[in-house]
Amino acid sequence: MAIYHMQAKVVSRGSGRSAVAASAYMSCSRMYNDYDGIQHDYTRKHGLIYQEVMLPPMAPLEWNDREQLWNAVEETEKTKDSRLAREFVVALPVELDKDSNISLLQDFIKKNFVDMGMCADFAIHDTDGHNPHAHILLTVRPLNENGTWQYKTEKEYLCIKDGEEKGFTASEFKAAQKQGWEKQYRYKVGKKKEYLTSSVAQEKGYKRIDKHPKSSRYGRQNPISEQWNSDEQLHIWRANWADAVNKMLARNQINATIDHRSFADQGITEQPTIHEGYIAQNMEKKGMIADRCEINRQIRADNKMLRELKAKVAKLAEAVEKSIPIIAETLEAIRNHMIFTQYHLLHNKMQKEVIHDWMNHFNPILNKYNTVKKKLKAKVTERKELNVQKDKTSILNPIQHIKLNQQLTTITEEIEELKARKEQLIFQAECSTDKDMMNLSKKYDQMNNNLDILDSQDISLKKQLEKDAAAFREEKFRPEPEQYTELLDTRIHIRPDFRDKLIEQLKGTFGKYYDYHRRDIAANKVDYLNVEDPDVFSHRAWELEYQRKQEMRRNQPVRSKKRSHDMEL
């Protein structure tokens, strides 16, 4: 029976393997590894059915000799943990003969690996005649048009321009440099070490302590290698192998197929059978009971029972799915979630308005305070310089002393005026000290950051609202048209309970900031989004309440009126 099996592995020095040894093993040959000087001899190994090397057009012809091919790979990879090759082990259909399996492999390898630029070395093994499988060894480094190896990863320099950081390779940096991008180097800034551009560092007089520019940790991966190494590409190869096998089986008029997906992905909950093997099958033919065959018989019986149960459950689920109470509860649950989401958006809007008002109030004060503070610092520095200059001036030069004293008097008055202005701004900001102003500035930055967080949150909430609205529409039109009145009545009946749950959830989330008026606005917006008229619900609710009261009156027992004795004569 044809089975799906495709195992992907990587041959790397880090795991103690070599590409030369892997090729010699699968081809049952003797090969010498120039990298470590070890000769690998597997000529006594049995089970080899077929072997071949397939090359892309740009590969050197001498690589048709697998020993030269994999020694070229070993020579190119320099590190002790280099990835040398990619290996696939695939199960071949037992229903196909040798030539069909060879043709299947050649076609699959050419279309999926060689045409993408890889060199492929493969061999078919079958030691017992009942387990045909193939080993496929592939190069992991792309080739240039002239047959030389490309890079796997390239150094990527992290450059700065106008505060933005971006990565460039050496070839890209030439053009980027003309656009104003600069490399970053490590400089000593006080007791710290920081990455700065040369222009900034020279301006501040910092000393460079490292000649290596800042770069990304792993470099820029070759886009071809990145594609070959991706999970998406592996999934494509797995699917393509199943398609290739199924086409070859159909071409040979064999009624069998394989599927690369797991049972879970195929939606199959049945238990897979185990591999029996020819020994167990021969035992069964001779009238003996083989454990493996017995296990499979039990598995097949369990699977049959499971299929019957699934069929019954499917019928029951279909009936429940069309049940009006279930649909009504689903609609009200979705509506509740939408109102909660819309309320959150309105709450965020209120928060942003409060933050904007706060920032608009304190922004001009902080700007003026920072400006005054800078001017004050500059004036204090200027006064210190004048005092130093005065101390150095000879007493024999009274005119210069007088001039310096005049300048010091003027600048002292300016300092006092700036101090007064600064104190005025501190008072205006409802603060007491410079430390309070510093905390206010930090709070301003935090408020600005909060606005960004709220904006990002709003995007997610709006996406969720759209998703819920689509689910609501799908659920709303599930019943038949003649069931709409019944669905409406059921929703009216259960809505008070859902409203109470929503209020409890809103109070639990927003606490003292819960506002029933905002909740009503959110509910109206949601009803508008779902194309539902609240008046229809209100009118129908009134009708149902009226009918209930009328029914209660009709069901009340008739009380006989007692005649008064005073009326009798």
Pairing of strands 48-54, 120-125: antiparallel
Query: Predicted confidence band at 567 (pLDDT cuts at 50, 70, 90)?
Result: very low
> Is residue 322 pLDDT above 70, yes or no?
no
Query: Predicted confidence band at 27 (pLDDT cuts at 50, 70, 90)?
Result: very high
Q: Where are the alpha helices (DSSP H) in 157-290?
A: 170-178, 198-204, 223-229, 231-251, 277-285
Tell me what pLDDT residue 569 has: 29
Enumerate residues 6+ apart whose C-beta is below 8 A from 3. Answer: 91, 258, 275
Enumerate residues 6+ apart whose C-beta is below 8 A from 490. Answer: 324, 325, 328
Q: Quick one: average pLDDT of 249-274?
A: 69
Least confident of 41-50, 450-459, 536-545: 536-545
Coil/strand/helix, residue 194: strand
Per-residue pLDDT tens digits for 392-435: 888 888 888 888 888 887 888 888 888 888 888 888 888 888 89
> Is residue 276 pLDDT above 60, yes or no?
no
Per-residue pLDDT tens digits for 336-363: 999 999 999 999 999 999 999 999 999 9
> Is residue 320 pLDDT above 60, yes or no?
no
Sign of CA dihedral 120, 121, 124, 127: negative
Coil/strand/helix, residue 65: coil
Q: Which two tokens stand for residue 237?
A: 């190869």
Residues 133/49, Cβ–Cβ less than 8 Å: no
Q: How far is residue 199 from each of residues 176, 265, 370, measured CA to CA in Å? A: 16, 57, 26
Tell me what pLDDT residue 564 has: 44
Per-residue pLDDT tens digits for 77-128: 888 888 999 999 998 998 899 999 999 999 999 999 999 999 999 999 987 7
Per-residue pLDDT tens digits for 500-544: 999 999 998 888 888 989 999 999 999 998 888 888 888 888 888
Least confident of 191-195, 216-220, 382-386: 216-220
Q: Which two tokens stand for residue 112?
A: 């999926």
Tell me what pLDDT residue 266 has: 59
* Closest among 499, 497, 510, 197 to 344, alpha carbons compared: 510
Q: How far is residue 402 from each of residues 137, 390, 396, 412, measured CA to CA in Å? A: 92, 10, 12, 15
Q: Which two tokens stand for residue 501?
A: 């749950």
Residues 220/158, Cβ–Cβ less than 8 Å: no
